[in-house]
């Protein structure tokens, strides 16, 4: 299986404070990796090192087999989609201009091609085309997040980094976005790294779940393994919390979508 991203002896420190001591990980192409761990454990730092926004203190990162030290930063960032929590849209550009920002750089002489790309991604992510001419300030938070995701996808990346992208939306919109992203992943087969604070979301979306604590890997496994065979006490506690989040007594755990599927299967 081809490797999309590899961390090899990655260390990241700020002054004397070590955030990530020695990260070694290979992520296969087409995997949907959800990343969970306590606040401050280094999730955002790990993502930002992949697209060169942060530089590791030492070690190497490979993207599609190429050491990113040897890749031109602009080329690297254009090939990796990046969607983060909250609005990171250009406020003075319309929805259409925001989404077409990267494709229009490539299709300078083919405006029609860019237009088609915008239509396609707006549809995929569930945005009505009537919103094209609106400015970010004229959209709801959830709509802004969709535009942010459409913009990341419009660059046709084969790797998509998402840092708590559904943080600021209500439960129903969040579920819609989760389902859209999941089916998009199935359709396109892109590699996704998705940071979340929500273990339920991590288990639902991930083909693999990466549990980090203090910059170290606690477990990197399929959701069912994470739940059935937690590798450490940290993972056990995380899963236990999820198991108990439904508040059902033991004899009724089967009625919970997650406890039932993962704890008792
Ligand atoms: N520029 C910086 N200088 C010093 N320390 C930093 C800097 N950026 C991040 N840190 C520290 O590095 C650690 C990891 O930060 P990071 O943003 O990766 O955490 P995280 O896992 O994404 O947390 P959260 O879940 O809260 O988003 C934190 O303790 C943070 O305070
Ligand atoms: Mg973070």
For 98-121, write each residue's pLDDT tens digit.
999 877 776 677 788 888 888 888
The answer to whether the CB of 19 is under 6 A from ligand 1 is: yes
pLDDT, residue 115, reads 87
The answer to whether the CB of 12 is under 6 A from ligand 1 is: no
Is residue 135 within 8 Å of residue 107, measured between CB atoms? Answer: no
Helix-, strand-, coil-residue percentages of the chain, each rounded to 5: 45, 25, 30
Both 85 and 215 in a single domain? yes
pLDDT mean by block of 10 residues, the chain; 265 residues = 96 96 98 95 95 95 96 88 78 93 74 85 85 94 86 86 83 83 89 93 94 97 90 91 70 69 52
For the chain, the farthest-separated pair of C-alpha atoms sits apart, in whole angstroms, at 64
Nearest ligand to residue 19 Cα: 1
Both 134 and 217 in a single domain? yes
Both 212 and 231 in a single domain? no
Both 120 and 232 in a single domain? no
Both 204 and 239 in a single domain? no
- How many folded domains does the chain comprise? 2
Both 229 and 120 in a single domain? no
pLDDT, residue 264, reads 45
pLDDT, residue 116, reads 86
Both 189 and 262 in a single domain? no
Which of 217, 197, 193 is CA-nearest to residue 207?
193
Range of the domain at 250: 225-265
Both 33 and 98 in a single domain? yes
Both 204 and 236 in a single domain? no
Question: From residue 178, how far is each of 11, 71, 144, 165, 211 by CA, in Å?
Answer: 32, 32, 15, 10, 20
Is residue 174 within 8 Å of residue 182, measured between CB atoms? Answer: no
For residue 232, give the DSSP letter. S
pLDDT, residue 172, reads 80
pLDDT, residue 252, reads 76
Both 179 and 234 in a single domain? no
- Evaluate whether residue 19 is within a structural domain: no
CA atoms within 13 A on the CB side of 260: 9
CB-based contacts of 119-125 (< 8 A; 24+ apart in sequence)? 121/150, 121/153, 121/154, 122/95, 122/150, 124/150, 124/153, 124/180, 124/184, 125/149, 125/150, 125/153, 125/180, 125/184
pLDDT, residue 255, reads 73
Which of the listed residues 17, 43, 48, 199 should we mutate to test ligand 1's pocket, taking the one with most ligand atoms within 8 A of CB? 43
Q: What is the pLDDT of residues 54-71, one digit of tens each?
A: 999 999 999 999 999 999
- Evaluate whether residue 17 is within a structural domain: no
Both 130 and 247 in a single domain? no
End-to-end CA distance of the chain: 28
Residue 132 belongs to domain with CATH number: 3.40.50.300
Both 130 and 235 in a single domain? no
């Amino acid at each position: 299986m081809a490797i999309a991203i590899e961390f090899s002896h990655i260390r990241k420190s700020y002054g004397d404070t070590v955030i990530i001591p020695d990260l070694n990980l290979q992520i296969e192409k087409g995997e949907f990796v959800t990343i969970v761990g306590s606040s401050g454990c280094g999730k955002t730092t790990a993502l930002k090192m992949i697209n060169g926004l942060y530089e590791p203190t030492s070690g190497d990162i490979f993207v599609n087999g190429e050491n990113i030290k040897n890749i031109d930063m602009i080329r690297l960032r254009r090939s990796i989609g990046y969607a983060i929590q909250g609005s990171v849209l250009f406020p003075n550009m319309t929805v259409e201009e925001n989404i077409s920002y990267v494709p229009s750089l490539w299709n300078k002489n083919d405006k029609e091609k860019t237009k088609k790309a915008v239509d396609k991604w707006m549809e995929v992510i569930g945005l009505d085309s009537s919103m094209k001419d609106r400015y970010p300030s004229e959209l709801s938070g959830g709509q802004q997040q969709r535009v942010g995701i459409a913009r990341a996808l419009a660059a046709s990346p084969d790797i998509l980094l998402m840092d708590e992208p559904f943080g600021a939306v209500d439960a129903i919109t969040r579920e819609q976005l989760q389902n859209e992203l999941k089916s998009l992943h199935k359709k396109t087969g892109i590699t996704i790294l998705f940071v979340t604070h929500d273990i339920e979301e991590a288990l639902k979306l991930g083909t693999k779940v990466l549990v980090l604590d203090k910059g170290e890997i606690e477990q990197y496994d399929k959701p069912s393994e994470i739940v059935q065979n937690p590798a450490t006490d940290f993972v056990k506690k995380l899963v236990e919390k999820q198991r108990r989040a439904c508040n059902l007594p033991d004899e009724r755990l089967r009625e919970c979508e997650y406890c039932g599927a993962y704890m008792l299967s």
